[in-house]
Structure 1
């Protein structure tokens, strides 16, 4: 075993969310446990970490069990490429799919990941929860969707589907047409659009907020996070306004949160790609998990 592999294994413990993770009342959440037989000290590893690892190495390692093929004729695909969702090219609602064609059982509870990026986070969940839940990824960057579709086909998963869609426009009609219950919605590290005049480009606008709250079933959950405090606060303020949504620490005071009410760990069992990159660079992740009341 070479030093780089040992470093990556230890980095899983150093960079969070593996080991003991929070338990939430949603059966598709699974925890992972990792251990290392390394005799290197943590301080030694921290000193050597940046000499041997890049954040992209950690992403590849944490998602290694998906066994994804990267030999795809897709050209260069940029994960963090910002687009303007207000442009005319993104104003057409996505076509509602034939749910019987895209899912083996379209009556299963549905998770929707808004702004799913490369889709690996959602694939990881879908692979571990066959016949338990369906997973729908909405992404505004079409190249990412095409690549995710190829990966899903190669993995022969029948409980996950990706759509090229502007969620602000398409979310409501998509989830209202779905035969089963909407059990979970996630918005994870959305494009921040920092400039004030560009805030209207952010994915979370009032129509989408209302559609999420209205369509979640009682007991359904909403998970949001960002490595940008301003964006996290914006999402938090909008969802805190709804009496129907209760943050998980008010339902279970034992849930680990900091003094400001941000969850200390990702409850999903694996970190998102952006989360891995941000934590590698030393950034804090601001997380909120809501549950809809009866």
Structure 2
């Protein structure tokens, strides 16, 4: 365990956390109170192990108490750790296969400083997850869901794709970028943290999306300059995290899932969809 939840976890004794660490693992990053994986374990039984990760020790201590009270502590555990700093250890050292990683309802204000889903986390997951592992992203703020989706498309080194479930289940379209940026949608659970993005290149103020392409040393880019992608037509790895919202990739064509593909809701999801009749923006990726 990290001493304060902010430093990287150096080593994890998986045998001390789970009775059988060879079972498939489900991980909920930013698990909060932890009810999501507790409900999943109750419904699915002990076929899998379940790990909740968060930085708030008081919530995790209470959640571990709940798991023990329900005789689930042999397969359910909550760990205090910084998910970004500890990603390689969390996912690279587990003895069994990692079946699912969930990242749901991160605080949209965090993106103003540093979003939990950024280059560092995505690159770590891309390098350690095995083919077939799934990543589930969800938010009730479309800009936050878009930011997370774009991070995986840009920084995943081509190792992730949209799950086929998007072709077989009900989906609704992603909002066009111009509408997403200019609209301030009232919400009973918060306000969309959106603003017009102004970018500068060679002293010229520009507004609009970032298009990503790669160009060889002698190939013309969208600016018509050989080998100098500049702000437009840049390689994916050079797109800054504060421009992720503006990236227009191919995954947006898959739309958002209209129903929860995992079958287990969080409290936030129930509140948004049932109490406020709001909308949740979901996407399921596969390694």
Shift of 1:171: 2.1
Aligned to 1:208: 121
**Cα separation, 1, equivalents of 2:163 and 2:118:** 23
Matches within 5 A, 1:179-258: 179-193=95-109, 199-241=112-154, 242=156, 243-249=158-164, 253-258=167-172
Any gaps of 5 or more consecutive residues in structure 1? 1-87
Aligned to 2:69: 154
- Choose from 3, 9, 19 the match for 1:104: 19
Shift of 1:267: 1.2
Count of aligned pairs between the two proteins: 201
SS of 2:265's equivalent in the other structure is coil
**Cα separation, 1, equivalents of 2:279 and 2:132:** 28
Shift of 1:104: 1.2
Aligned to 1:288: 283
Any gaps of 5 or more consecutive residues in structure 2? 175-254
Aligned to 1:177: 93
TM-score of the pair, normalised by structure 1: 0.64
Cα deviation 1:123-154 (Å, max 9, x = unaligned) = 11112333411111001111110100110111
Matches within 5 A, 1:1-80: none
Shift of 1:252: 5.9
Shift of 1:240: 2.0
**Cα separation, 2, equivalents of 1:93 and 1:159:** 23
Shift of 1:174: 1.8
Cα deviation 1:3-22 (Å, max 9, x = unaligned) = xxxxxxxxxxxxxxxxxxxx
Shift of 1:248: 1.9
Q: Is the 8 A contact 1:113 1:138 kept in 2?
A: yes
TM-score of the pair, normalised by structure 2: 0.66
SS of 1:211's equivalent in the other structure is helix
Cα deviation 1:207-232 (Å, max 9, x = unaligned) = 11111222221111000000011111
Q: Of the two, which has the highest radius of gyration?
A: 2
SS of 1:175's equivalent in the other structure is helix
Aligned to 2:259: 265
**Cα separation, 1, equivalents of 2:148 and 2:166:** 21
Shift of 1:95: 5.2
Cα deviation 1:74-112 (Å, max 9, x = unaligned) = xxxxxxxxxxxxxx9543223533211211110111111
Shift of 1:115: 0.5
Higher helix share: 1
Aligned to 1:37: none
**Cα separation, 2, equivalents of 1:187 and 1:252:** 18
